[in-house]
Structure 1
Amino acid sequence: MTEADQSAVASGVRDTEAPEEEEAGSAGYEEGVTDLLAALAYGELSAFDRLAEDSREAPTLTGRAALASMAAAEMGHFRLLQDKLSERGVAVEDAMRPFAAPFDAFNASTAPHSWLESLVKAYVGDGLAADFYREVANWLDPETRELVLTVLSDTGHSAFAEREVSAACAEDDSLRDRLTLWGRRLLGEAVTQAQWVVAERDALSELIIRGSGDLAGIGSLLRRLQNNQNKRMSRLGLG
């Protein structure tokens, strides 16, 4: 992620001094948490759809079964979030609605053209989102933090993608180059999506500002995400 990318995301958060820390249970905090859980819920629902579809394109029955199992796990995570939102008096459909357009736009603009591209997309895109949500989880009350971390638990996709992509790239340098460019494009598209979501959801924006401290803290968060992303690409065998 370039400095320009980091600046773009940071500019999506209102350029204000971080207000005094807001306690869990306050109206602003609760609204921000609802937005966070709703974004996670729509992400899990989208992941289920994508993995179920990708499983049908798998070149082997082993791969098909593996992705189908992961899709089922994503739906289990969605149900946990649905139940939590219901406890908060919020219908999951209503809560997710503001996030449908940006998530769907991201998926439409990054539609994979091959089995391996679909694996890289899930690995890179979902991994980046999970890193971000884990950062935010550090700023939440213990009960909500535990739920978020449970939902972000690895369904087994990471090891599967690393094995499949690394093996394919080891035999074809041109494939490795193409998938490296694909991974970089995914990162750029994800940055654009994150910018939109943060800019449009004031309560979520305030939650992030308070947790990170200020815009400089957001910059540090983005650098950590970038470092994790570089490591993730390396594990795939992509430079």
Structure 2
Amino acid sequence: MDTHGDAAVTAAEGKAGPDEGTAQTGATVEAAETAGTGRESIGDWAKCSADPHYRDAVVDLLGALAYGELSAFERLAEDAKLAPSLADKAALAEMASAEFHHYRLLRDRLAAVDADPEQSMRPFVEPLDSFHRMTAPADWLEGLVKAFVGDAIAADFYREVAVRLDDDTRDLVLGVMADTGHAQFAVAKVRSAIDREPRVGGRLALWGRRLMGEALSQAQRVVAERDALSNLLIGGAEVRGFDLVEVGKMFNRITEAHTKRMAALGLAS
């Protein structure tokens, strides 16, 4: 999963010169990589997993993330068929390979904590598959925008919960969210296409809005249906019950980040 959409946003913004732009991008990447480390440690997995509510929440989280990575692998492999050149096809193939590596890390971690990987992923198959069915791209550019926007929304979601995780799980989640290069690739290709044919921007802007709406709808559904995961999202395993206000604030933050990323693509949100 490519979580460095923020870096792509920074690189595309403003009037910075080459050196300044590089510095901004590096700073943003560093911020993304250290996301989730701002809170005091709650301990390691051995300590925290003694709480059955916390353990259930983490298994849910890893199951959702694992199926997301597996879906990303499938999507990128499929999108490669739409690539206009062999170089673009090869670039997507490399990104797909990175996503599958992330999936294997998560699958192995689930097995290591005595959770069945397939059973852990199963609750998230229908929501994710439904999202992909309703947002099948019509062409190469729509596929790039979907990958960029979808990955970024998912990354924001996992960054929200990373600050509430034990040290071992947080390190795994942030590692899996490492950059596959897709953000920079998508921004460069989409902006180039808009420069060549400005009217493409209007169609892709509408597409981006649709993607955001569908993604938030499915994410809200998952959070509402999985009590352990929603507890973790809104304040840690000690919180019990679904807090609509806190979850709403979280999704507002995700929406604000989406607006910036759309601007990086040269599109209105």
Q: What is the alpha-carbon root mean square deviation over aligned residues?
A: 1.7
- Answer yes or no: is the 8 Å Cα contact 2:131–2:218 preserved in 1: yes
| Aligned counterpart, 1:206 | 231
Instruction: Summarize deviations over 1:68-104 as a string: whole Å, max 9, x none.
Output: 0000000000010011100111121111011101100
| Aligned counterpart, 1:9 | none
Query: Which whole-Å CA distance do the structure 1 matches of 2:231 and 2:123 have between them?
Result: 17
2:99 is the alignment partner of 1:74: yes
Runs of 4+ in 1 over 3 A off after TM superposition: 211-217
Query: Which whole-Å CA distance do the structure 2 matches of 1:24 and 1:232 have between them?
Result: 35
Query: Which whole-Å CA distance do the structure 2 matches of 1:224 and 1:198 have between them?
Result: 16
Q: How many residues are paired up?
A: 218
Instruction: Summarize deviations over 1:116-165 as a string: whole Å, max 9, x none.
Output: 00000000011101111011101101110010000111100000000000
- Answer yes or no: is the 8 Å Cα contact 2:95–2:180 preserved in 1: yes
Uncovered stretches (5+) of structure 1, i.e. residues with no partner: 1-20
Query: Which whole-Å CA distance do the structure 2 matches of 1:154 and 1:181 have between them?
Result: 26
| Aligned counterpart, 1:234 | 263
Instruction: Summarize deviations over 1:147-194 as a string: whole Å, max 9, x none.
Output: 000011110000000000000011222210000000000000001101
2:153 is the alignment partner of 1:162: no
Give the alignment of 1:38-117 within 5 angstroms: 38-117=63-142
| Aligned counterpart, 1:3 | none
- Answer yes or no: is the 8 Å Cα contact 2:160–2:233 preserved in 1: no
Query: Which whole-Å CA distance do the structure 1 matches of 2:54 and 2:209 have between them?
Result: 34
Higher RCO by CA contacts (8 Å cutoff, separation 6 or greater): 1
- Quick one: which amino acid aligns to residue 237 of structure 1? G
Uncovered stretches (5+) of structure 2, i.e. residues with no partner: 1-41
SS of 1:95 mapped into structure 2: helix
Is 207-216 or 125-134 further displaced after alignment? 207-216
- Answer yes or no: is the 8 Å Cα contact 1:209–1:215 preserved in 2: no
Query: Which whole-Å CA distance do the structure 2 matches of 1:43 and 1:232 have between them?
Result: 20
- Quick one: which amino acid aligns to residue 134 of structure 2? S
Choose from 224, 227, 237 the match for 2:253.
224
- Quick one: which amino acid aligns to residue 24 of structure 1? C
